[in-house]
Amino acid sequence: MNFGVQPIPDNEIFAVFRGDRLEYQSNDGEGGLFWDVQAWGGTDYSKLWFKSEGFWLFDKETFEEAGVELFYSRNIATFWDLQAGVRHDFEPHPTRTFAALGIEGLARYWFEVDVTAYISQDGDLSANLEAEYDLLLSQRLILQPRFEIDVAVQEVEELSIGQGINDIELGARLRYEIRREFAPYIGVSWSRKLGETADLAEADGESIETTSLVAGIKFWF
């Protein structure tokens, strides 16, 4: 009999560091290094997550974007976690801090989905949706289509963010898993600003559409 003394396997603590995308992007001639890394520690049901995304422009030697997120994550259903936490954007300026609430998991047919809503310190509401799918061409060669969209409820003029759908990104990356923990890849990524955000970008003389060839590594340990 256990009497509550023996440790329960479900309560064992694990930790993972994962680089989903660490890659060079050609970015229509303005090449740079993009990163999308995550780390978590905790049990099967409760975890602390750290996430970071950003883009460093080689020619300008500056960050185009850089941000970090910290979440408490709780398993609420098979393959689904509810996440609540904070996000801080170091770039672009002015910097902003958000409260965040999201859900992450595997949808039907094994689509990996991540949806997060944000409210900034100024009360601006926004949301991000990401979805990707692993298509196994062989046991080691995997094609991963990817979709991402950003939405804002209010206009944020100082950051050239319009009301409505801000931008959309489509990508496909072909990786070869040398080991499960290490996989180099190549691919292509296309993004476009939409609606009022596109109007604001055009008024500032910025491009609203970008196509990038990408090459990078996916890893975890």
- Looking at residue 161, what DSSP letter applies? B
CA atoms of 1 and 181, how far apart (whole Å): 39
CA atoms of 117 and 100, how far apart (whole Å): 6
Nearest in space to 43 (alpha carbons), one of 85, 75, 86 = 75
pLDDT value of position 30:
86
pLDDT value of position 4:
53
Residue-wise pLDDT tens for the chain (221 aa)? Answer: 445 556 555 678 999 999 999 999 998 888 999 999 999 999 989 999 999 999 999 999 999 999 999 999 999 999 999 999 999 999 998 999 999 999 999 998 899 999 999 999 999 999 999 999 999 999 999 999 999 999 999 999 889 999 999 999 999 999 999 999 999 999 999 999 999 999 999 998 888 999 999 999 999 99
pLDDT value of position 206:
87
* pTM exceeds 0.85 for this model: yes
pLDDT value of position 18:
95
pLDDT value of position 5:
52
CA atoms of 54 and 150, how far apart (whole Å): 15
108-147 in b/e form (b: 16+ CB < 10 A) is eeeebbbebbbebeeebebbbebebbeeeeeeeebebebe
Q: Is the dihedral of CA 58, 200, 171, 95 positive or negative?
A: positive
